[in-house]
Structure 1
C-alpha cells in the first residue's frame, strides 16, 4: 500500500521512478580483489565472533553482572547489527564488481544502519554517565545505578534510536528518485540518496540535521562534560593508587568513544566533500568495518574482568570436554568387557 502511494505521488508529479540502484563499491581492484574480499570477510567474522563472545560472557559470568558490562553487552549488539547490515552487502558488491539493489531493501539497510549508529551514540553516553557516577559518586553508585535505571536507560536508547531512524527512513523512502540510479558507494547512505532524489529535499535535510545534532553532538557534549568531571575528580584523588585505579576503569570506554566519534566526524563532518570519492568510501569502510571490531578488542585487552571470565569459561569447556572423553572411554571399556564375558560364557557352555 505504501509503495503504491509512493509511485502514485511520483506519477502525479510526472517523474519517472527509479526502483533499482546500482552500488558501485570499489572498482578496478584487479588482482587485489580476492585478497581484499578475504580480508574483509575475515574481519567481519572476527567482529561478529568477538561481539557475540562479549554478549555471552556478560550473560553467563556472574563477575560481569555489573552496570558497566550490562551496557557493554548492548554496545556489542549495535556493533553486530551494523556489521551484519553493511558487510554482506559490501562483499556482494566486491564479488560482482557492483550490485543492484531495489529501493525497499536499500531503505531497510539505511534504517538498520541508522538504528545501530544512533543507539550506539546513546549507549556510549549512558556508559559515560555510569563511569561518572562510579568515580565521582562512588558511595552512592549502587543506589543510583540500580537495575531499574539500567533497564530504563537501555530501553530509551533503543526506543529513541529506532523511532528516529524509522522517521528518517520513511521520509527518504517517500522521495522520488528519477536521476541517475548509480550509487558510488558500497551501501545505501542518507546523503547519497538525497543527492539522487529529484524531489524537494530541503525539509528532509533539515530534519536530518536536527536528528544528527540531537543524537550525535548533544551526546558527545555530554560525554565530554562527564569526562571533564571525571578527570577533575581523578586529579584531586589523594593517592596515586586511587588515581590509577579510577583512570583504568574508564580507559576502555574513552578509547572506544574516541574511535567511534573520530571516524563518525571524519565521514559525516564535511558535507561538501561528497560521497563519490575513494577517500570517503575508505573512511566509511573504517567506520563500518574496523570500529565494530575495535570495541571487543579494546575491552578484551583492557578489562581484566573480561579476560578472567573468558579464561574461566575456557576452563569450564575444557573440563566438560575431559569429562565427556572419560565417560566415553569408560562406556567403551565397559561395553568391550561385557562382550568379552559373554563370549567366554558362550564358549564354555
Structure 2
C-alpha cells in the first residue's frame, strides 16, 4: 500500500500517485474462468452492436429517426463497454493492477461521458416514439433529419461537458487513506470513499448531476410512455396495438434496466455505500445490460430481425 508526498495533477494537496484495482483478485482460482466469460461477453457486445450499426446504415427500410438513434446508441454501447472491459480482462491476467492517478481520472471521465450521453440518447429515442404514436400525422414533419442530428449533437455535447466539473471536484480531494480500490474500474462511489476530510460538497454535486442526467430523463421517459400506452390502448386495431407495443416495449425494457441500476449506484449516500455491492451492480450496468441490448432490440423488433436476416444472407452468399 503506497502513500506518496507528490501533488495531484489537479490540485495542490498531498495525494496518492496510484490506486490498486482489487477487481476480482479475491477469487484467484476463478481468474481464468472469469477471463473467458468476460472475453466472450465483450465479443458478443462488439459483434451485436456492430451488426445493428451496419444494418441501420445500409438497409433502406431502417432509414428512419428511430433507427438513426438506435445506431447512435449501439455505437455508444461499444465505446461505453470498451472503457472498462479491456482493462478488466488485462487485470485478470496480471499481478500488477495499479492504475495511475491521471489514468484513473481519465477513465472515469470517459466512462461518465459515454454513460451520460447514453442516458440522453435514450430520452431522445423515447421522444421519437412519443411523436410517432401520439402524433403520427406530423411525425415526418417534426422528426426530420435535421432535428434528429441536432438532438444527437446536443446529447453528445452535454455528455462531454457535464462530467468535467465532477472529475475536477473528485480529483482535487485529498486521498490519504488506503490506495486499494475495491472495484474493477475507476467509478465515482469507490473513489470518493477513499477521499479524506469533508466530501459533502462532492456528494451534493454527484446527487445534482445524477438527478439532472439520470433521474430527470428517466422521469421524462416514463411520462412519455404513460402517454404512449394510453394512446396505444385507444387504437381500434388489435394488430396495430400489438405492433406499437412490440416496438416500444424493447426500448422501455432497456431504459428501466439502465436508468434503474444507475440511480441505485449514484444516488445512494456515501455512508450507506457497500463497495462490494457497487462492484457487482456495476457489472450489471457496464457489461450485462450492453450484452442484452442487441438481443432485446433484435428479438423484439421484426423490422430489425428481417433486416438482419437479409444482411446476413447477402453477406454469407457474397
Q: TM-score range by the shorter chain?
A: over 0.9
Show structure 2 runs of 5+ residues with no match.
1-5
CA contact (8 A) 1:67 1:145 kept: yes
Deviations 1:34-62 (A, max 9, x none): 11110011001111111111111111222
CA contact (8 A) 2:189 2:266 kept: no
- What CA distance in whole angstroms lies between the structure 1 residues aligned with 2:7 and 2:306? 56
1:230 matched residue in structure 2: 228
1:217 matched residue in structure 2: 215
Question: Bigger CA drift: 200-209 or 228-237?
Answer: 200-209
- What CA distance in whole angstroms lies between the structure 2 residues aligned with 1:152 and 1:260? 24
Deviations 1:125-147 (A, max 9, x none): 11111111111101110001001
- What CA distance in whole angstroms lies between the structure 1 residues aligned with 2:247 and 2:210? 29
2:170 corresponds to 1:172: yes
1:125 matched residue in structure 2: 123
1:9 matched residue in structure 2: 12
CA contact (8 A) 1:25 1:98 kept: no
1:276 matched residue in structure 2: 275
1:110 matched residue in structure 2: 108
1:331 matched residue in structure 2: none
2:3 matched residue in structure 1: none
Q: TM-score, normalised by structure 2?
A: 0.92
Structure holding more helix per residue: 1
Question: Bigger CA drift: 159-168 or 21-30?
Answer: 21-30
Q: Once the 2 structures are TM-superposed, how far is the Cα of residue 116 of structure 1 from its aligned partner?
A: 1.4
1:337 matched residue in structure 2: none
Show structure 1 runs of 5+ residues with no match.
11-15, 321-349
Q: TM-score, normalised by structure 1?
A: 0.84
- Secondary structure at 1:125's aligned position in 2? helix
Q: Larger Rg: 1 or 2?
A: 1
1:249 matched residue in structure 2: 247
Candidates 204, 207, 211, aligned match of 1:206: 204
- What CA distance in whole angstroms lies between the structure 1 residues aligned with 2:297 and 2:53? 12
1:24 matched residue in structure 2: 22
CA contact (8 A) 1:21 1:101 kept: yes
Q: Once the 2 structures are TM-superposed, how far is the Cα of residue 171 of structure 1 from its aligned partner?
A: 2.3
